[in-house]
Structure 1
Amino acid sequence: MDINSQETRSFSYKRGFSFWTIFLTIVLIATIIGAIAIGSTYIEPGVVYKVLINKLLNQNIFDSTWNIMFDNIIWEIRLPRVLLGAICGAGLALCGVLMQCVTKNPIAEPYILGISSGASCGAVAIIILGGMSSIGITSITGGAFIGSIISGVLVFVIGTQMGRITSTTRLVLSGMAISTIFSALTNLLIYSAKNSNQAKNALFWTIGSLGGAKWDILLIPFIALVFVIIVSFIMSKSLDILLLGDDSAVILGINVKLVKSVILILATLLTSTLVAITGAIGFIGLVVPHVCRTIAGSDHKKLIILSSLVGSIFLILSDVVARWIFPPIEIPIGIITSLVGGPFFLYLISNKNYSFGGND
């Protein structure tokens, strides 16, 4: 009787995961269409759907009965921005899952290694020292990527001694120290700005925005996201075992130092790539994994899928609010994610039944 009950519970659990995966996929598609429709010029969702189908299939499946300008607005302006939001949201949520696993710390997030501070410092240095009139988004992105890689390497070298130790406390403290140093340098650069326009542009970038989205910058973050998802899937069993503790993982045949080093490198590269394009967007990597654990428990294969979907939806919706709340002014998207994510996270941790591992 006990065996039958366990089988019934297992079947029900799997069915629940399948339901949520399909449901969230549908919600993501609807969110993408809705986000494209909303803007300074409202476009009917039906028109958005028809334009996307025509463009994707490269055929006039639907007769063009709408303003021809809508094709350009949808395909060249809004779709790249929404797709960047989906990629960035999924990536940050995934990095949150990885960092919380490595540190076994429920408040760990992608920026715990000081990557966002390093990226901000690199981008602001380009803006302030280069002058906005002589540089473009490519130079800013390059500076941000270099800064994030430098901070990530410093934390990895100092916090793990090149992978020789696995102390999460040392790693977190190293990340905090590096983050503080880069934040101080960023503030110093902003303070030294020659005019208020430079300071405003620098400050706006450090809080995050999807405004620089273009087709030609989507490929690199997309490849990075797919690569990290594939490797994380391959290592999912090792990630599950890591939650049992380092000693238990060693007994079960896991090379803890190697697994943690690989995860840290993956999280650093993905976060660096995303932050270099969008700026620092907080709370996604902190909140989303917790939400998904209420559905997937501690099974990392399921967490990877659900977190990617929920992260994409969350960031796309946040960007819509950032564009819609004070039109035509666009506020930094990091403000929206913090205002929504902060109270929701407080609700999660105040729930008496909440635990880091979730409900199996």
Structure 2
Amino acid sequence: MDDAHLRELIPAVIGVLVRRGADFASAEDAVQEALVKALEVWPADPPRDPRAWLVTVAWRKHVDAVRSELARQAREELVHEEPPPGSVTSVDDTLQLYALCAHPSLTPASAVALTLRAVGGLTMRQISEAYLVPEATMAQRISRAKARIATVDLGAEPRDLATVLRVLYLVFNEGYSGSVDLAAEAIRLTRQLVALTDDPEAIGLLALMLLHHARRPARWTAAGGLVTLAEQDRALWDTALIAEGVELLQGALARDELGEMQAQAAIAALHADARSADETDWVQVVQWYDELVALTSSPVARLNRAVAVGEADGPAAGLAALAELDATLPRHTAARAYLQARLGNDAVAADLYVTAAREAINAAERDHLTREAARLRASARSPMMERWIVRHS
């Protein structure tokens, strides 16, 4: 059994231990120890039932921990009631575990880390490398998250699927860093969630991830520079992922239960369907942004809609839509710069790009905006130089 398949068993095994009486933190620790043992034993002696094997070993690890710490009388009683090895309930608590790791009491960063640890089965080192923080810092973050939800009843936890989807999308947006591809991990976990729920919004999120992931090979230059959607080499896009994403989206939309993730995926599908940026059906893109704004009232969706209006109805219309929004929104200045450049106001756009670069949230975005400012300033100087040459020739 490969590493990915082994990690797919983790949520269900943790769920069994919690249902038997272990607290969440102890269950997660015991399962991690069982996984280490599995990697040692299974290559030479693979079990007939991997899930039952993990449950048995993890439960024994938990019992040993309780005994060694001389737990309170309640836990001593739990030890004496140890189920026979291999006895595994047919109840699958995986979905509740997803919800528990995305509990509203947790910060987004803590929910993401705990999801990667308890549901994804990643090691502390893998998670800390992905987020570029020391392993001890990540261990403290996860430990605090476990403590915060220690008293939550897994069986009674409501299935707040929308919160789970948001956490998985946060994981996906981290992309690739360190020794683990978080985008691929988010897709794996979302596939698992779709299999558990068959929910149209979960399917919509999976479609959205696949459509975005399909463009990944074209998103960066060899030197690590950002390539905008309009400039990407579409021959590098993964057509198989696009086809799968579109098919999933069509199935979800056919249920007539539109949600935020489906609307976002529909916009991504329109971009994926166009052979070039100029051939994008911008009118439909605006219509889908209208749906998204109606669903979420998201300022970010309104900002993106204004840019789409600029493509569909002209940059002046886009600037008018943008003027209705809060100018302090992230990327608002960059959007103004883009639309001013489309309008032919290169000098104004260049100055805006300089300001946007100072506001950029990451180095790649800052470098791209700085290059755009330099390009437009050079373009704005050229006509002035030509006029000087004419006057002085």
TM > 0.5: no
Larger relative contact order (Cα-Cα within 8 Å, sequence gap ≥ 6): 1
Q: Which has the higher helix share?
A: 1
Calculate the TM-score normalised by the size of structure 1: 0.26
Calculate the TM-score normalised by the size of structure 2: 0.24
